[in-house]
Structure 1
Amino acid sequence: MNDRSPLMQLVHTLRAVTVEFDLLGAEFAARHGLHPTDVRALIHLLDAARDDIPATPGWLGRQMRLNSAGTTALVDRLERLELVRRTKDLADRRRVLLEVEEKATELGWSFFGPVITDVMAVAEGFDEGEVETVRSFLAAVLRSSRQARSA
């Protein structure tokens, strides 16, 4: 395919956005004494809370592709930094749930808030159909990326 075709330009723009978000995440991690893995874990936990998914250490380990020892070290570190807390699952007292502390949310918003605000301002200029087209495209890219990663 021609490297300058509109579709390839879309792919290159998506790649550039991905790189920029990755750099932003690394900058956030560095400013707050975190490892990039910590930031990825917090994102997974925030997504789980938003989607009403019970986030257990085992679930987080699968998302992060970490073994049990690595997951325990990660959760211990986030708990020590007061970014995550372990709680008992009220439906199953044998199970531990992970919850993001308000401190983590506040740190995230103080850093990423301006970017989120800018993205939303751009999206507000789109009509409903355009927003749905962008959402659908990004969801398809996400599915493709996840399939490639699990292959």
Structure 2
Amino acid sequence: MNGKIVGGFIVLIGAVAGIAMYWLQVYAFYEEATFEPGAEIRLTLIEGGMAEPIIAEGVTGIDSDSSPIRFRACFHTPMTQAMLTETYKMYPDAVPNVAPGWFDCFDAQAIGAALEKGEAIAFLSEANIHPGVDRVVAVFPDGRAFAWHQLNASESE
């Protein structure tokens, strides 16, 4: 009888620990991202290399102090891909990071597939927004746009 009690206790502790780890990874450290009004999203100019604000509507985002690559944002821009490519630096090898399931406006698989097919175009928002981390923005032809943080070449080698 004692073995069943000890075994049940071990299973219970394991289940509680598993649920706690899941909650900590998916929910605990995320918070709503704060954006500077009028400068919510910035892109880096081809000429001069400075980041400047772009027109961004309906910006929503999440971020976390626990990791510099947990940032995700969704928004809409009336700026066309053609105008953006003439003005701002494109970002090669952009790979969006998966967002928590509850942040449903950001679908990393769909964004990544669109980037691979050339349907969406990735731009450098801000280089080294954190040491070794760039902010990347992908823009679709219909104006939907998404931002995330990605390790840059200095950290991924």
Under a length normalisation based on structure 1, what TM-score does the superposition of the two structures give?
A: 0.27
Answer with 1 or 2: which has the greater Rg: 2
Q: Return the structure number with greater helix share.
A: 1
Q: Return the structure number with greater strand share.
A: 2
Under a length normalisation based on structure 2, what TM-score does the superposition of the two structures give?
A: 0.26
